[in-house]
Amino acid sequence: MEDVLALFDIDGTLVDTAGAGRDAIEIALVEIYGTAGPIDELSFAGLTDPYIARTLMQHAGLEDPEIELRFDALWDCYETNLSAILAERAHRARVHAGVLALLDALAVAGVAIGLVTGNIERGAQHKLAACGIADRFTFGSFGSDAENRDELPPIAIDRAQAKTGRDFHKRRTWIIGDTPRDIRCARAAGIRALAVGTGSFTAPQLRNAGADHALDTLADTIAVMRVLGDESRMDARGARFAP
């Protein structure tokens, strides 16, 4: 499966960090802007960190230039708080069922493994490190690369090619994520979406949102490998592509 590229979302897909990201953003927004805006009314699912911050601050009445002026300070403050909260909650941060076995199996099969996540890069590293899987990923695209998630897959694909020296066909390139926004960013890039019901949506909801495949969890390694391997030669209607 050396021609397959698997691009993983982080929160709700690979790991559960017990709300550490959300709490760290709230503390950082209050510290840097004096308010976290209507944070309790916003679902973060599938949104990039900068999009979350901008949306909340716009609702708090701030203008874009004022918001952007303090982004660097915001992310420094966020990183400090995230790191502290993850350390405090070390016993609660966990990798979802089957993820370790799947990453092992993908590596053995020669699949290129990367990230497409709304987390800023530094935040992604802290979350993955807290769950013991930071060393599994050597490339990816992050909320710090683009505020709009739909722009992230092409950046990750370019980095995958640069890192591995391999070309990946769109039909052999997968986003693996837990929200309709993960599916949408795959669609925008013309690549495949494998959705998993371990975040805020169920597998049937994600199937309805247009995922090529949706599984309840990533616990069944063979089932996931089968989807990424064999069936990436098929389109959404089941028509088989030439291998």
- The footprint of Mg ion (CB under 5 A) covers 9, 11-12, 178
Nearer to Mg ion, 33 or 201 (CB): 201
Nearer to Mg ion, 9 or 16 (CB): 9
Phi then psi for residue 116, to 5 deg, are -135, 105
Nearer to Mg ion, 1 or 115 (CB): 115
Nearer to Mg ion, 62 or 215 (CB): 215
**176: closest CA among 44, 21, 43, 15?**
15
Sheet order of strands, 192-196 included: 140-141, 112-116, 5-8, 173-177, 192-196, 213-215
Residue 96 Cβ vs Mg ion, minimum distance, rounded to whole Å: 11
**153: closest CA among 114, 121, 96, 122?**
114
Nearer to Mg ion, 11 or 26 (CB): 11
Residue 70 Cβ vs Mg ion, minimum distance, rounded to whole Å: 26
Torsion of CA 200, 147, 155, 225, to 10 degrees: 0
Residue 32 Cβ vs Mg ion, minimum distance, rounded to whole Å: 24
How many helices (H) and strands (E) the chain has is answered by 10, 8
Residue 178 Cβ vs Mg ion, minimum distance, rounded to whole Å: 4
Q: Which residue is nearest to Mg ion (CB)?
A: 12
Residue 181 Cβ vs Mg ion, minimum distance, rounded to whole Å: 8
Residue 167 Cβ vs Mg ion, minimum distance, rounded to whole Å: 27
Nearer to Mg ion, 32 or 96 (CB): 96
> What's the angle, vertex CA 241, arms to CA 235 and CA 243, rounded to 5?
135
128, amino acid identity: L
139 touches 29 (CB < 8 A): no
